[in-house]
A = this chain, B = another copy of it.
């Protein structure tokens, strides 16, 4: 059972693209207008605007219209779905880490 609904797909899709992950990283530091974001990437503003749209579709950013510019603000809450999905694998990499730890400890005897 994968996270609920069509929303999850949009979130996973949103973070699948490296540019979009980088945008989220930027917005984690400060709110930025579309143009501000576009300035920091080697691509045109419309391209960046599309990425912002995808992020918005995933609910990962909120857009505040301020005069003629749109300020994009990070909304990390939906990422909790990703964390939730990852949680079910925690046992697996804990097992791995435990195995590793045990091996290290055995070598230290």
Chain A residues with a Cβ under 8 A of chain B: 1-3, 8-9, 12-13, 15-18, 21-22, 24-25, 28, 74-77, 79-80, 82-83, 85-86, 88-89, 92-93, 96
Contacts and interface: CB of A to CB of B under 8 A. Distances in A.
The copy count of this chain in the complex is 2
**Residue from A12, A75, A89 whose CB has the most chain B CB atoms within 10 Å:** A89
A18 B1 CA distance: 10
A2 B16 contact: no
16 contacts: A2-B21, A2-B22, A12-B21, A16-B16, A21-B85, A28-B89, A28-B92, A74-B92, A76-B89, A76-B92, A77-B92, A77-B96, A79-B86, A79-B89, A79-B93, A80-B93
